[in-house]
C-alpha cells in the first residue's frame, strides 16, 4: 500500500519518514557545516554556545578564550556538540549529536595544523586563540524527510 494513501493520511507526521544515521554518515555530515552548538553542564545549569568548528581525524575542534565561559570550564568530561541542517520548504533535514569529552589542544604539531586550516572566524568578539578538542565517545544522528 502506498504510504500516502493509508488510513493515517492527513494525520500530523504521517507523511514523513526518519532514519537513524550511521556513525560514518554522521561524521560526513559534520564535515559539511561550519557552525554548531557546544553544550555542557556547569553549576547545575546547561550552557550552550554557538561555535564555528572544523572536523579532523575523528574529532571536533573550535576556538575559544581560555578565560571565557567555555575555556574556564575545561577540561569537561560530559559535553555535547550538535549540528543540524533544516530545509523547511522540503520539510526535511538532519541532526547529528556527539557526546564526549573536551579539553584544550596543547600538542604543538596539531595546533600548527589546525591554525593552517581554513575556518570561519568565531562569532563571538575578542581574541579566540585557544583551540578546544571534543573527542566523541558517542555520535548519533537522524534524518527526516517527506515521503
For the chain, the domains span 22-133
Please give the backbone phi and psi of residue 66, each rounded to the nearest 5 degrees, phi first. -70, -20
What local confidence, expressed as pLDDT, does residue 2 receive?
A: 53
E strand or H helix at 24: helix 23-30
Percent of the chain with pLDDT over 90: 67
- Fold of the domain spanning 22-133: Pnp Oxidase; Chain A (2.30.110)
Each residue's pLDDT tens digit, 14-71:
577 889 999 999 999 999 999 999 999 998 999 999 999 999 999 999 999 989 999 9
Q: How much is the mean pLDDT over the chain? A: 88
Each residue's pLDDT tens digit, 88-101:
887 889 999 999 99
- Residue 28: how many other CB atoms lie within 10 Å: 14
Nearest to 139 by CA among 63, 47, 30: 30
Long-range Cβ contacts of 109-113 (<8 Å, 24+ apart): 113/56
Cβ atoms of 99 and 78 within 8 Å: the answer is yes
- pLDDT > 60? residue 112: yes
Amino acid at each position: 500500500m502506498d504510504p500516502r494513501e493509508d488510513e493515517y493520511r492527513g494525520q500530523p507526521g504521517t507523511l514523513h519518514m526518519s532514519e537513524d544515521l550511521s556513525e560514518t554518515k554522521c561524521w560526513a555530515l559534520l564535515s559539511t557545516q561550519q557552525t554548531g552548538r557546544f553544550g555542557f553542564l556547569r553549576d547545575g545549569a546547561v550552557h550552550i554556545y554557538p561555535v564555528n568548528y572544523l572536523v579532523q581525524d575523528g574529532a571536533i575542534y573550535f576556538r575559544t578564550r581560555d578565560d571565557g565561559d567555555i575555556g574556564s570550564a575545561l577540561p569537561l568530561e560530559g559535553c555535547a556538540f550538535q549540528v543540524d541542517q533544516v530545509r523547511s520548504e522540503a520539510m526535511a533535514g538532519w541532526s547529528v549529536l556527539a557526546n564526549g569529552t573536551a579539553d584544550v589542544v596543547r600538542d604543538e604539531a596539531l595546533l600548527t595544523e589546525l591554525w593552517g586550516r581554513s575556518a570561519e572566524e568565531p562569532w563571538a568578539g575578542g581574541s579566540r586563540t585557544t583551540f578546544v578538542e571534543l573527542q566523541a565517545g558517542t555520535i548519533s544522528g537522524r534524518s527526516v524527510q517527506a515521503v
